[in-house]
Amino acid sequence: METEGTKMTNFHEESLAIPYRVEFTLPYEEVKQEIDAYWEKNSAALIRHFKPQVKKSKGGEIPKDKARKMIESHVPTQRLYQDALAKVLIDCLQKEGRDLFHIDALNVFDYEKDKETILIGRVYYWPEMKLKENAELKFEAKFPFKPDFEKAWEGKKTELWHKHRKVSETEIDNGPVLINHDLLLDVIASCEDKPYEKGTRRGTWFELRTLNQDIREACLAHNVGDLFETSFVMTNMDPEIEGKKVRSTIKIFKAREIIYREVDDSLAVDEGFANLEALKEGFSQQYQQHIQETKRGVAVDAILSGLMAHVEVPAIPDNWMERSVKRVMQSHVAQFKGDEARAKAVVGAKDEAHFQQLFQGEVMRDILQQLVIRLYRKLYDLKDATIESLYDDMVRRCNWSDENG
54 backbone dihedrals φ, ψ, rounded to 5°: -125, 150
| Mean pLDDT computed over 4-30 | 65
Higher pLDDT, 199 or 227: 227
| Mean pLDDT computed over 94-105 | 80
What is the CATH number that goes with domain 10-125?
3.30.70
Half-sphere exposure of 26 (CA within 13 A, CB side): 24
How far is the CA of 115 from the CAs of 31, 112, 118, 134, in angstroms? 11, 6, 9, 51
Pick from 4-18, 269-283, 360-374: least confident: 4-18
Q: What local confidence, expressed as pLDDT, does residue 7 receive?
A: 39
Q: What local confidence, expressed as pLDDT, does residue 10 receive?
A: 57
**pLDDT value at 405 more than 50:** no
Pick from 6-15, 383-392, 396-405: least confident: 6-15
Q: What local confidence, expressed as pLDDT, does residue 12 receive?
A: 58
Q: What local confidence, expressed as pLDDT, does residue 18 receive?
A: 54
In the chain, which segments carry CATH 3.10.50.40?
165-260
Q: What local confidence, expressed as pLDDT, does residue 349 receive?
A: 86
Region of 97 on the Ramachandran plot (φ > 0 left; ψ -120 to 50 alpha; else beta): left
d(CA 139, CA 401): 11
Q: What local confidence, expressed as pLDDT, does residue 15 receive?
A: 52
How far is the CA of 218 from the CAs of 15, 185, 211, 247, in angstroms? 68, 13, 11, 12
In the chain, which segments carry CATH 3.30.70?
10-125
Instruction: Report CA dihedral (30, 31, 35, 41) to the nearest 10 degrees.
Output: 40
**pLDDT value at 13 more than 80:** no
> Amino acid letter at 273?
F
Q: What local confidence, expressed as pLDDT, does residue 403 receive?
A: 52
Higher pLDDT, 138 or 184: 184
Give every CB contact of residue 60 below 8 A, 6+ residues apart in sequence: none
Region of 226 on the Ramachandran plot (φ > 0 left; ψ -120 to 50 alpha; else beta): beta
Q: What local confidence, expressed as pLDDT, does residue 8 receive?
A: 41
**pLDDT value at 226 more than 90:** yes
Give every CB contact of residue 126 below 8 A, 6+ residues apart in sequence: 99, 100, 101, 371, 374
Q: How much of the chain exceeds pLDDT 70, in percent? A: 94
Q: What local confidence, expressed as pLDDT, does residue 212 receive?
A: 85
**Are 6 and 30 contacting, i.e. CB atoms less than 8 angstroms apart?**
yes
Across the chain, what does the average pLDDT equal?
A: 87
H or E stretch at 50: helix 28-50
pLDDT digits (tens, 9 = 90+) for 149-191: 999 999 999 899 999 999 999 999 999 999 999 999 999 999 9
pLDDT digits (tens, 9 = 90+) for 336-371: 888 889 888 888 888 888 988 888 888 888 888 888
Q: What local confidence, expressed as pLDDT, does residue 5 receive?
A: 33
Domain spanning 165-260, CATH architecture: Roll (3.10)
Q: How much of the chain exceeds pLDDT 90, in percent? A: 44
Closest CA to 208 of 176, 238, 240, 237: 176
Q: What local confidence, expressed as pLDDT, does residue 347 receive?
A: 85
Pick from 120-129, 166-175, 204-213, 263-272: least confident: 120-129
Per the document, the length of the chain is 405
Q: What local confidence, expressed as pLDDT, does residue 1 receive?
A: 36
**pLDDT value at 11 more than 80:** no
pLDDT digits (tens, 9 = 90+) for 52-93: 888 887 777 888 888 899 998 899 988 899 999 999 998 888
| Mean pLDDT computed over 191-198 | 90
Under the banding of pLDDT at 50, 70 and 90, the label for residue 14 is low
pLDDT digits (tens, 9 = 90+) for 292-351: 999 999 999 999 899 998 998 887 777 778 878 888 899 889 988 888 898 888 888 888
d(CA 388, CA 295): 12
